[in-house]
Amino acid sequence: MTRIERNICRRDLTTFAIEVSAAALAGWETAGDLAALIADPSLPRPLKLIGGGSNLLFTRRFEGTLLMRCGEPAVERSGLLWTVDANMVLDDLCALVAASGLRGMENLSGIPGTLGGALVQNAGAYGAETGSLLVEAELVDLQSGRMFTVDREWMNYSYRRSRLKDEDGHYAIVRATLGLLPASAPANLDYGNLRAMLDGREPVPAAVREAVIAVRDSKLPDPRRVGSAGSFFRNPEVSADTIAGVEPDMPRYDLGDGRVKLSAAWLIDHAGMKGARVGGAMTWPSQPLVIVNAEGNATAADILGLEHEIISAVSRRFNIILTPEVEHL
Q: Enumerate the active-site residues.
A: 160, 231, 325
CA torsion through residues 50, 26, 223, 212, sign: negative
Whether residue 46 is preceded by a cis peptide bond, meaning omega within 30 degrees of 0, is: yes
- Please state, as a whole number, how many other Cβ atoms lie within 10 Å of the Cβ of residue 145: 15
Count residues binding ligand FAD (CB under 6 A).
33
Among 116, 192, 203, 280, indicate the residue that binds ligand FAD (CB under 6 A): 116
Among 91, 93, 124, 310, indicate the residue that binds ligand FAD (CB under 6 A): 124
Ramachandran angles phi, psi of 233, nearest 5°: -115, 155
Determine if 137 is a binding residue for ligand FAD (CB under 6 A).
no
Please, what is the minimum distance in Å from the beta carbon of residue 55 to ligand FAD?
Answer: 4
Among 107, 114, 235, 293, indicate the residue that binds ligand FAD (CB under 6 A): 114
- Please state, as a whole number, how many other Cβ atoms lie within 10 Å of the Cβ of residue 29: 16
Among 65, 121, 177, 235, indicate the residue that binds ligand FAD (CB under 6 A): 121
Number of residues that this document lists for the chain: 329
In the complex with ligand FAD, the residue whose CB is nearer, 232 or 318, is: 232
Question: Rounded to whole angstroms, how far apart are CA atoms 310 and 226?
Answer: 20
**Among 260, 242, 259, which Cα is nearest to 251's?**
260
CB 253 within 8 A of CB 261: yes
- Please state, as a whole number, how many other Cβ atoms lie within 10 Å of the Cβ of residue 34: 23
In the complex with ligand FAD, the residue whose CB is nearer, 46 or 305, is: 46
Please, what is the minimum distance in Å from the beta carbon of residue 194 to ligand FAD?
Answer: 13
In the complex with ligand FAD, the residue whose CB is nearer, 221 or 288, is: 221
Determine if 178 is a binding residue for ligand FAD (CB under 6 A).
no
Which chain residues interact with ligand FAD by CB under 6 A? 15, 48-56, 86, 111-114, 116-118, 120-121, 123-125, 164, 172-173, 220-221, 223, 228-230, 327
